[in-house]
Amino acid sequence: MRQFSSNVQSVLSEDFVEYFLLVDLELPGATYNLTTHKAAITTDDSVVYSANGAVFEYDSPRQNSALDREAYTIQLIDPSDALFDEFRTGVVNRNVTIRAGFVHSTLGPLTGDLDLVYVYRGYIDSPKISNNFSSKIVELQCSSPMADLDMIRSFWTTENGMDQYNLTDTSFDRINEGYELQLEWGRL
C-alpha cells in the first residue's frame, strides 16, 4: 500500500486540495522537465521543473484496478519551438513520466519522494502537431506498457514460413508431411 508523508496526509485532509504535475519527457535531444505549477519547482533530487506554461491540457489522474491499455493524453504549447523541433524528428516510443504533487498551505509545494504520486508512466504512442495562425499545440497520445497485450502478430506455419526470419533454417521444411494421418483419441 502506498505510504504518504505526514505533510501529504495533512494536505489531503483539508477541504481544498491544490496539486501540480511534474512531467518528464525523455526526447532524443534532451529530457524536458515541465510543471503545471505557477512557479518553477526543484525536487529533492535537484531536478528543476520549468513552469513556462508549456503544459496546456492533460487527462485527469485516474487509478485502475485492472491491467488495460488506456492511453493518456497531454497537450503542450511551445513558444520557443524547441519541443516542436524534437517532435518533427520523431518521438514515438520515448519515455513519459508524470507525477502529481501537492501544495501545503504553509510549506508550499511538497517535492519529496514520499510526497509525489506517479500518475502515468509509459511511452509516446502518436504525437500530433496542430499549427494554425492562432496557436501551436502538440498532442501526445501516450500508451501504457500494457498496450502490447492487444498486439496480433501472425506466424505462418507453412513450408516457407520460417523464411521470413531465417533463410537457412529448415525446421519447417517438412511441416506438412504426415497430415493425412488421422488419429482417433479416446474410446469408441
Query: Are 130 and 54 within 8 A, CB to CB?
Result: no
pLDDT for position 48:
92
Domain ranges of the chain: 6-150, 153-183
- C-alpha dihedral over 147, 149, 150, 151, to 10 degrees? 90
d(Cα 81, Cα 1) in Å, to the nearest integer?
A: 41
* Nearest alpha carbon to residue 5 among 44, 32, 37: 44
Q: Which residue has the higher pLDDT, 88 or 1?
A: 88
Tens of pLDDT along 123-175? Answer: 888 788 777 777 778 888 887 655 555 556 666 677 777 777 778 888 877 77
- The residue written with cell numbers 484496478 in the block is 65
Residue 5's pLDDT band (cuts 50, 70, 90): confident
End-to-end CA distance of the chain: 57
Tens of pLDDT along 27-83? Answer: 888 888 988 888 899 988 889 998 877 787 777 755 555 555 567 788 888 767 777
pLDDT for position 74:
85
Q: Give φ, ψ of 102 to 5 degrees.
A: -120, 155
pLDDT for position 15:
85
pTM above 0.85, yes or no: no
Name every residue whose Cβ is closer than 8 Å to that of residue 66 and which is 6 or more positions away in sequence. Answer: none
Q: Give φ, ψ of 135 to 5 degrees.
A: -160, 160
